[in-house]
Protein backbone atom coordinates (compact mmCIF):
# COMPACT_ATOMS: atom_id res chain seq x y z
CA UNK A 1 0.00 0.00 0.00
CA UNK A 2 2.86 2.38 0.87
CA UNK A 3 4.53 1.73 -2.48
CA UNK A 4 1.25 2.41 -4.29
CA UNK A 5 0.86 5.70 -2.44
CA UNK A 6 4.43 6.73 -3.29
CA UNK A 7 3.91 5.88 -6.97
CA UNK A 8 0.68 7.90 -7.06
CA UNK A 9 2.45 10.92 -5.55
CA UNK A 10 5.32 10.58 -8.01
CA UNK A 11 2.99 10.47 -10.99
CA UNK A 12 1.10 13.49 -9.71
CA UNK A 13 4.35 15.43 -9.30
CA UNK A 14 5.52 14.55 -12.81
CA UNK A 15 2.17 15.63 -14.24
CA UNK A 16 2.54 19.02 -12.57
CA UNK A 17 5.97 19.47 -14.12
CA UNK A 18 4.90 18.65 -17.67
CA UNK A 19 4.93 21.73 -19.96
CA UNK A 20 1.60 23.29 -20.84
CA UNK A 21 0.44 23.56 -24.45
CA UNK A 22 1.49 26.74 -26.29
CA UNK A 23 -0.20 30.10 -25.65
CA UNK A 24 -3.86 29.25 -26.18
CA UNK A 25 -6.07 28.28 -23.28
CA UNK A 26 -6.73 24.51 -23.58
CA UNK A 27 -10.20 23.70 -24.87
CA UNK A 28 -9.83 20.24 -26.42
CA UNK A 29 -9.34 17.32 -23.98
CA UNK A 30 -7.71 15.30 -26.78
CA UNK A 31 -5.37 18.12 -27.85
CA UNK A 32 -2.25 16.13 -26.89
CA UNK A 33 -2.99 13.73 -29.76
CA UNK A 34 -1.44 15.97 -32.38
CA UNK A 35 -0.88 14.91 -36.00
CA UNK A 36 2.58 14.55 -37.44
CA UNK A 37 4.20 17.91 -38.06
CA UNK A 38 5.45 19.06 -41.45
CA UNK A 39 8.40 21.28 -42.26
CA UNK A 40 7.79 24.98 -41.73
CA UNK A 41 9.29 27.51 -44.12
CA UNK A 42 9.93 31.24 -43.79
CA UNK A 43 7.01 31.96 -46.07
CA UNK A 44 3.85 33.96 -45.38
CA UNK A 45 0.82 33.51 -47.61
CA UNK A 46 -0.82 36.76 -48.69
CA UNK A 47 -4.50 36.58 -47.64
CA UNK A 48 -4.06 32.85 -47.15
CA UNK A 49 -2.55 32.21 -50.59
CA UNK A 50 -5.86 32.81 -52.35
CA UNK A 51 -4.33 33.34 -55.79
CA UNK A 52 -2.59 29.98 -55.68
CA UNK A 53 -5.14 27.81 -53.87
CA UNK A 54 -8.40 29.29 -55.11
CA UNK A 55 -9.67 29.61 -51.53
CA UNK A 56 -11.50 32.83 -50.68
CA UNK A 57 -9.29 35.63 -49.37
CA UNK A 58 -8.81 35.59 -45.60
CA UNK A 59 -10.79 32.39 -45.09
CA UNK A 60 -10.50 29.32 -42.88
CA UNK A 61 -9.94 27.36 -46.09
CA UNK A 62 -6.97 29.62 -46.81
CA UNK A 63 -5.62 29.02 -43.30
CA UNK A 64 -5.90 25.28 -43.83
CA UNK A 65 -4.09 25.49 -47.15
CA UNK A 66 -1.28 27.62 -45.70
CA UNK A 67 -0.82 25.24 -42.79
CA UNK A 68 -0.80 22.16 -45.03
CA UNK A 69 2.02 23.40 -47.27
CA UNK A 70 4.17 24.50 -44.31
CA UNK A 71 3.88 28.30 -44.12
CA UNK A 72 5.28 30.17 -41.16
CA UNK A 73 2.17 32.36 -41.20
CA UNK A 74 -0.92 33.28 -43.18
CA UNK A 75 -1.65 36.97 -43.61
CA UNK A 76 -5.14 38.36 -43.15
CA UNK A 77 -6.76 41.79 -43.05
CA UNK A 78 -8.97 43.12 -40.27
CA UNK A 79 -11.59 45.86 -40.21
CA UNK A 80 -13.84 47.01 -37.34
CA UNK A 81 -17.59 46.50 -37.16
CA UNK A 82 -20.07 48.85 -35.51
CA UNK A 83 -20.49 46.44 -32.60
CA UNK A 84 -16.78 46.13 -31.86
CA UNK A 85 -15.68 42.99 -33.69
CA UNK A 86 -12.52 42.57 -35.75
CA UNK A 87 -13.88 41.31 -39.06
CA UNK A 88 -11.30 39.27 -41.01
CA UNK A 89 -11.53 40.22 -44.67
CA UNK A 90 -10.11 42.53 -47.30
CA UNK A 91 -12.43 45.41 -48.28
CA UNK A 92 -13.15 46.08 -51.94
CA UNK A 93 -11.72 49.08 -53.77
CA UNK A 94 -14.42 51.27 -52.23
CA UNK A 95 -13.59 50.14 -48.71
CA UNK A 96 -16.77 48.05 -48.50
CA UNK A 97 -17.64 44.51 -47.48
CA UNK A 98 -20.88 43.02 -48.78
CA UNK A 99 -21.75 46.53 -49.92
CA UNK A 100 -21.27 48.14 -46.49
CA UNK A 101 -18.62 50.32 -44.89
CA UNK A 102 -17.81 47.82 -42.12
CA UNK A 103 -17.61 50.20 -39.17
CA UNK A 104 -21.11 51.50 -40.01
CA UNK A 105 -22.75 48.07 -39.66
CA UNK A 106 -22.91 45.28 -37.10
CA UNK A 107 -21.39 41.87 -37.67
CA UNK A 108 -24.87 40.36 -38.05
CA UNK A 109 -25.85 42.91 -40.69
CA UNK A 110 -22.69 42.33 -42.71
CA UNK A 111 -22.98 38.55 -42.53
CA UNK A 112 -26.65 38.65 -43.46
CA UNK A 113 -25.71 40.29 -46.77
CA UNK A 114 -23.65 37.32 -48.02
CA UNK A 115 -21.12 34.58 -47.38
CA UNK A 116 -17.74 33.79 -48.90
CA UNK A 117 -17.74 31.93 -52.21
CA UNK A 118 -17.09 28.62 -50.43
CA UNK A 119 -20.14 29.25 -48.21
CA UNK A 120 -18.09 30.15 -45.13
CA UNK A 121 -19.37 32.97 -42.97
CA UNK A 122 -17.14 36.03 -43.16
CA UNK A 123 -14.86 35.26 -40.21
CA UNK A 124 -13.99 37.37 -37.20
CA UNK A 125 -10.76 37.20 -35.23
CA UNK A 126 -12.24 34.69 -32.81
CA UNK A 127 -12.85 32.27 -35.69
CA UNK A 128 -9.24 32.49 -36.81
CA UNK A 129 -8.00 32.04 -33.25
CA UNK A 130 -10.16 28.95 -32.78
CA UNK A 131 -8.35 27.43 -35.77
CA UNK A 132 -4.88 28.49 -34.64
CA UNK A 133 -5.36 27.28 -31.07
CA UNK A 134 -6.62 23.85 -32.14
CA UNK A 135 -3.53 21.65 -32.11
CA UNK A 136 -5.20 19.10 -34.36
CA UNK A 137 -5.99 21.70 -37.03
CA UNK A 138 -2.74 23.64 -36.52
CA UNK A 139 -0.12 21.16 -35.24
CA UNK A 140 2.79 23.20 -36.61
CA UNK A 141 1.86 26.30 -34.66
CA UNK A 142 1.37 28.38 -37.81
CA UNK A 143 0.81 32.06 -37.02
CA UNK A 144 -1.29 34.79 -38.57
CA UNK A 145 -0.06 38.17 -39.71
CA UNK A 146 -2.81 40.65 -38.97
CA UNK A 147 -2.77 43.48 -41.50
CA UNK A 148 -4.49 46.61 -40.25
CA UNK A 149 -6.09 48.77 -42.95
CA UNK A 150 -5.20 52.48 -42.76
CA UNK A 151 -8.62 54.17 -42.95
CA UNK A 152 -8.82 57.91 -43.64
CA UNK A 153 -9.98 58.18 -40.03
CA UNK A 154 -7.24 56.24 -38.28
CA UNK A 155 -9.35 55.76 -35.16
CA UNK A 156 -11.10 52.94 -37.04
CA UNK A 157 -7.75 51.26 -37.61
CA UNK A 158 -7.00 51.45 -33.90
CA UNK A 159 -10.50 50.13 -33.13
CA UNK A 160 -9.80 47.05 -35.26
CA UNK A 161 -6.44 46.50 -33.54
CA UNK A 162 -8.02 46.79 -30.10
CA UNK A 163 -10.84 44.38 -30.99
CA UNK A 164 -8.41 41.82 -32.40
CA UNK A 165 -6.09 42.14 -29.43
CA UNK A 166 -8.91 41.64 -26.95
CA UNK A 167 -9.77 38.34 -28.65
CA UNK A 168 -6.09 37.34 -28.60
CA UNK A 169 -5.76 38.24 -24.94
CA UNK A 170 -8.84 36.20 -23.99
CA UNK A 171 -7.19 33.11 -25.48
CA UNK A 172 -3.62 34.01 -24.51
CA UNK A 173 -2.74 33.42 -28.15
CA UNK A 174 0.00 36.06 -28.23
CA UNK A 175 2.70 33.90 -29.81
CA UNK A 176 0.41 32.93 -32.69
CA UNK A 177 -0.45 36.46 -33.76
CA UNK A 178 1.69 39.21 -35.27
CA UNK A 179 0.50 42.61 -36.48
CA UNK A 180 1.48 44.50 -39.65
CA UNK A 181 1.08 48.28 -39.58
CA UNK A 182 0.76 50.05 -42.97
CA UNK A 183 3.27 52.79 -43.75
CA UNK A 184 1.90 55.91 -42.09
CA UNK A 185 3.88 57.94 -39.57
CA UNK A 186 0.78 59.13 -37.72
CA UNK A 187 -0.53 55.58 -37.50
CA UNK A 188 2.85 54.29 -36.31
CA UNK A 189 2.71 56.73 -33.40
CA UNK A 190 -0.90 55.85 -32.58
CA UNK A 191 -0.12 52.13 -32.58
CA UNK A 192 2.72 52.67 -30.11
CA UNK A 193 0.14 54.02 -27.65
CA UNK A 194 -2.09 50.92 -27.79
CA UNK A 195 -2.14 48.23 -25.12
CA UNK A 196 -1.25 45.73 -27.83
CA UNK A 197 2.08 47.45 -28.44
CA UNK A 198 2.85 48.54 -24.88
CA UNK A 199 2.33 45.06 -23.44
CA UNK A 200 4.87 43.74 -25.97
CA UNK A 201 3.36 40.26 -26.16
CA UNK A 202 2.68 40.32 -29.92
CA UNK A 203 5.35 41.12 -32.48
CA UNK A 204 4.62 44.16 -34.64
CA UNK A 205 5.89 44.71 -38.17
CA UNK A 206 6.10 48.29 -39.37
CA UNK A 207 5.74 48.55 -43.12
CA UNK A 208 7.87 50.39 -45.64
CA UNK A 209 6.34 50.33 -49.11
CA UNK A 210 8.61 53.01 -50.62
CA UNK A 211 12.33 53.67 -50.29
CA UNK A 212 11.84 56.87 -48.31
CA UNK A 213 9.74 54.93 -45.81
CA UNK A 214 12.58 52.66 -44.68
CA UNK A 215 13.03 53.08 -40.93
CA UNK A 216 16.32 53.55 -39.13
CA UNK A 217 17.44 50.17 -37.75
CA UNK A 218 18.22 51.87 -34.44
CA UNK A 219 14.53 52.79 -33.99
CA UNK A 220 13.36 49.19 -33.52
CA UNK A 221 12.37 47.83 -30.12
CA UNK A 222 12.45 44.19 -29.08
CA UNK A 223 8.93 43.29 -30.26
CA UNK A 224 9.25 45.06 -33.63
CA UNK A 225 10.31 43.97 -37.09
CA UNK A 226 10.45 45.66 -40.49
CA UNK A 227 8.12 44.52 -43.27
CA UNK A 228 9.61 45.95 -46.47
CA UNK A 229 8.30 45.94 -49.99
CA UNK A 230 10.73 44.43 -52.49
CA UNK A 231 10.83 47.61 -54.59
CA UNK A 232 11.66 49.74 -51.54
CA UNK A 233 14.89 47.97 -50.62
CA UNK A 234 16.27 46.16 -53.68
CA UNK A 235 16.93 49.37 -55.59
CA UNK A 236 20.06 51.47 -56.03
CA UNK A 237 18.74 54.51 -54.17
CA UNK A 238 17.56 52.62 -51.05
CA UNK A 239 18.87 54.35 -47.93
CA UNK A 240 19.17 50.99 -46.16
CA UNK A 241 19.93 47.50 -47.47
CA UNK A 242 18.72 44.18 -46.02
CA UNK A 243 22.06 43.74 -44.28
CA UNK A 244 21.51 47.07 -42.49
CA UNK A 245 18.69 45.48 -40.52
CA UNK A 246 20.06 41.97 -40.23
CA UNK A 247 23.41 43.19 -38.88
CA UNK A 248 21.52 45.36 -36.36
CA UNK A 249 19.54 42.28 -35.18
CA UNK A 250 16.29 43.68 -36.59
CA UNK A 251 14.06 40.94 -38.06
CA UNK A 252 13.28 41.66 -41.71
CA UNK A 253 10.52 40.34 -43.95
CA UNK A 254 10.34 41.04 -47.67
CA UNK A 255 7.03 41.71 -49.37
CA UNK A 256 7.38 39.97 -52.73
CA UNK A 257 3.73 39.81 -53.80
CA UNK A 258 3.40 39.78 -57.58
CA UNK A 259 2.41 37.50 -60.41
CA UNK A 260 3.31 33.82 -60.28
CA UNK A 261 6.07 34.30 -62.86
CA UNK A 262 7.55 37.45 -61.27
CA UNK A 263 7.59 35.99 -57.78
CA UNK A 264 9.56 33.00 -58.99
CA UNK A 265 12.13 35.06 -60.85
CA UNK A 266 13.29 38.55 -59.96
CA UNK A 267 11.27 39.10 -56.77
CA UNK A 268 12.23 36.08 -54.69
CA UNK A 269 15.64 35.57 -56.28
CA UNK A 270 17.25 38.61 -54.61
CA UNK A 271 15.77 37.81 -51.21
CA UNK A 272 16.85 34.15 -51.12
CA UNK A 273 20.50 34.83 -50.17
CA UNK A 274 19.26 36.17 -46.84
CA UNK A 275 16.90 33.29 -46.15
CA UNK A 276 19.14 31.32 -43.79
CA UNK A 277 20.02 34.28 -41.59
CA UNK A 278 18.34 34.14 -38.19
CA UNK A 279 17.09 37.72 -38.60
CA UNK A 280 15.48 37.09 -41.96
CA UNK A 281 11.87 36.65 -40.90
CA UNK A 282 9.95 35.66 -44.04
CA UNK A 283 9.06 36.03 -47.69
CA UNK A 284 5.56 37.48 -48.04
CA UNK A 285 4.04 36.12 -51.25
CA UNK A 286 0.90 35.42 -53.28
CA UNK A 287 2.15 31.97 -54.30
CA UNK A 288 3.52 30.29 -51.16
CA UNK A 289 3.84 26.73 -52.49
CA UNK A 290 5.83 28.04 -55.46
CA UNK A 291 8.09 29.98 -53.08
CA UNK A 292 8.65 26.85 -51.00
CA UNK A 293 9.63 24.94 -54.14
CA UNK A 294 12.13 27.70 -54.88
CA UNK A 295 13.56 27.46 -51.37
CA UNK A 296 13.92 23.68 -51.68
CA UNK A 297 15.49 23.94 -55.12
CA UNK A 298 18.10 26.32 -53.70
CA UNK A 299 18.92 23.83 -50.94
CA UNK A 300 17.82 26.27 -48.24
CA UNK A 301 15.44 23.91 -46.46
CA UNK A 302 18.21 22.01 -44.68
CA UNK A 303 19.60 22.81 -41.25
Taking the domains of the chain in order of start, what are their residue ranges? 38-297
pLDDT digits (tens, 9 = 90+) for 39-75: 999 999 999 999 999 999 999 999 999 999 999 999 9
The confidence score (pLDDT) of residue 266 equals 72
Residue 180 β-bridge partners:
147, 205
Provide the pairing of β-strand 86-88 with 71-80: antiparallel
Q: What is the pLDDT of residues 142-178, one digit of tens each?
A: 999 999 999 999 999 999 999 999 999 999 999 999 9
Using one digit for the tens of pLDDT, what is the confidence trace for 169-221? 999 999 999 999 999 999 999 999 999 999 999 999 999 999 999 999 999 99
- Return the higher-pLDDT residue of 100 and 32: 100
The CATH superfamily label for domain 38-297 reads Phosphatidylinositol (PI) phosphodiesterase (3.20.20.190)
Amino acid sequence: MKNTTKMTCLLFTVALLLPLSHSCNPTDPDSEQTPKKVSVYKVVSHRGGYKESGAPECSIQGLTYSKTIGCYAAECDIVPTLDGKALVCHPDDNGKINGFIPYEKTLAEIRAAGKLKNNEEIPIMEDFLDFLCDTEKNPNGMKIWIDTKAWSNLSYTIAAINAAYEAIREREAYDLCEFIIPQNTTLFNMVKETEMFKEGKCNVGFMASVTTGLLNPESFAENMWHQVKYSAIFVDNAIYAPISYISASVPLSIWCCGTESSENTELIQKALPYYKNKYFKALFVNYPAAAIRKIKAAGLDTE
